[in-house]
């Protein structure tokens, strides 16, 4: 599960990206050259970023002055002038051995597919609900790690907002009465994160969620939530 935990180099194997044009491996994503063809306007070329979260992001390079970036594949398809928009999995392509190959016929959509399976309830815990493992966040005041449980939508929102707060402290943890003076959990305890498959799991498809309706929020304006609900409508 190295790919789920970050590290663009671990997202895809050498075999999966062999002969794909413009590959660039970065810390938390992999980027490749992509495009979409309109019968009227020709090829619109861009750069596709693939994140382990399942997010897909296109920076358009159709003209030297184009400023369209952070587009979803669907928005890129429409921007290209494609006459039959709405089937971006088959109309947005990458170059493999000099040939245009639809995204649907590559490995590049595997994390996108996983995120949608998660949204549809593919990894449920013993109680039938979607399973999210416990996460930890550092207090910027005392430096200690604090556990946040993600058993409900309310708890997921607390964690989601905590990640977005640059100066999060123990005082922000309203779900538990923890202060900076309290001891940090022992390392032996931290490995127990609530995976339904294995108590000492370090991350698997049963407990690592790539995005679902429990941990994404319609009233949140962050790019992750906006993209999740935009893509779920396609």
Q: Is residue 166 part of a domain?
A: yes
Q: Match 């123990």 to its residue by tokens.
A: 170
Q: Is residue 117 part of a domain?
A: no
Q: Is residue 10 part of a domain?
A: no
Note whether 104 and 140 are same-domain residues: no
SS (H, E, C) 143-166: CCEEEECCCCHHHHHHHHHHHHCC
pLDDT tops 70 at residue 7: no
Give me the chain's average pLDDT, please.
83
Q: Which helix (H) or strand (E) holds 110?
A: helix 110-119
pLDDT tops 60 at residue 61: yes
Q: pLDDT value at position 206? A: 75
Note whether 147 and 85 are same-domain residues: no
Phi, psi of 89 (to 5 degrees): -60, -30
Q: pLDDT value at position 6? A: 40
Across 4-8, 92-96, 144-148, 157-161, least confident range = 4-8
Note whether 139 and 222 are same-domain residues: yes
Note whether 140 and 63 are same-domain residues: no
Q: pLDDT value at position 93? A: 97
pLDDT tops 60 at residue 11: yes
pLDDT tops 70 at residue 46: yes
Q: pLDDT value at position 202? A: 81
Q: Is residue 123 part of a domain?
A: no
Q: For residue 169, what are the domain limits?
A: 135-231
Q: What pLDDT, in 10s, does the model give residues 144-171?
A: 999 998 888 888 999 999 999 999 999 9
Strands 56-60 and 42-51 come out as antiparallel
Read off the tokens for 54: 């399942």
Measured in residues, the chain has a length of 234
Nearest to 92 by CA among 83, 81, 104: 104
Nearest to 124 by CA among 66, 35, 205: 205
Across 117-126, 164-173, 218-227, least confident range = 117-126
pLDDT tops 90 at residue 178: no
- Over residues 86-106, the mean pLDDT reads 93
Note whether 146 and 101 are same-domain residues: no
Q: Is residue 1 part of a domain?
A: no
Across 9-23, 111-125, 165-179, least confident range = 111-125
Contact 107, 16 (CB under 8 A): yes
- Quote the distance between the C-alpha of residue 115 and its chain's center: 7
Say how far apart CA 34 and CA 93 lie, in whole Å.
Answer: 6
Note whether 98 and 42 are same-domain residues: yes
Strands 56-60 and 135-138 come out as unpaired
Single residue among 108, 143, 162 that ends a domain in this structure: 108
Q: Is residue 127 part of a domain?
A: no
pLDDT tops 80 at residue 68: yes
Taking every pair of Cα atoms in the chain, the longest distance, rounded to a whole number of angstroms, is 66
Q: pLDDT value at position 97? A: 93
Q: What pLDDT, in 10s, does the model give residues 180-204?
A: 999 998 988 888 888 777 777 887 7
pLDDT-based confidence at 83, cuts 50/70/90? confident
Q: pLDDT value at position 195? A: 79
Q: pLDDT value at position 98? A: 92
Q: Which residues pair with 31 in a beta bridge?
A: 24, 49
Say how far apart CA 58 and CA 170 lie, in whole Å.
Answer: 38
Single residue among 91, 108, 125 that ends a domain in this structure: 108
């Amino acid at each position: 599960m190295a790919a789920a935990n970050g590290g663009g180099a671990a997202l895809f194997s050498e075999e999966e990206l062999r002969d794909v044009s413009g590959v660039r491996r970065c810390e938390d994503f992999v980027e490749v050259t992509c495009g979409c063809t309109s019968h009227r306007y020709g090829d619109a070329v861009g750069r596709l970023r693939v994140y382990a979260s399942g997010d897909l992001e296109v920076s358009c390079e159709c003209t030297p002055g184009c400023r369209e970036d952070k587009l979803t594949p669907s928005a890129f398809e429409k921007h290209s002038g494609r006459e039959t928009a709405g089937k971006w999995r088959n109309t947005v392509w990458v170059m493999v051995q000099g040939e245009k190959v639809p995204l649907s016929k590559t490995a590049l959509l595997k994390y996108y597919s996983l995120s949608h399976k998660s949204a549809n309830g593919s990894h449920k815990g013993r109680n039938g609900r979607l399973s999210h493992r416990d996460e930890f966040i550092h207090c910027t005041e005392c430096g200690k790690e604090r556990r946040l449980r993600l058993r409900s939508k309310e708890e997921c929102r607390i964690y989601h907002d905590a990640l977005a707060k640059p100066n999060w402290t123990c005082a922000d943890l309203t779900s538990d009465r923890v202060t900076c003076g309290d001891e940090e959990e022992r390392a032996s305890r931290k490995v127990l994160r609530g995976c339904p498959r294995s108590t000492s799991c370090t991350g698997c498809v049963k407990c690592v969620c790539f995005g679902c309706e429990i941990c994404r929020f319609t009233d949140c304006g962050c790019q992750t939530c906006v993209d999740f609900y935009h893509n779920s409508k396609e």
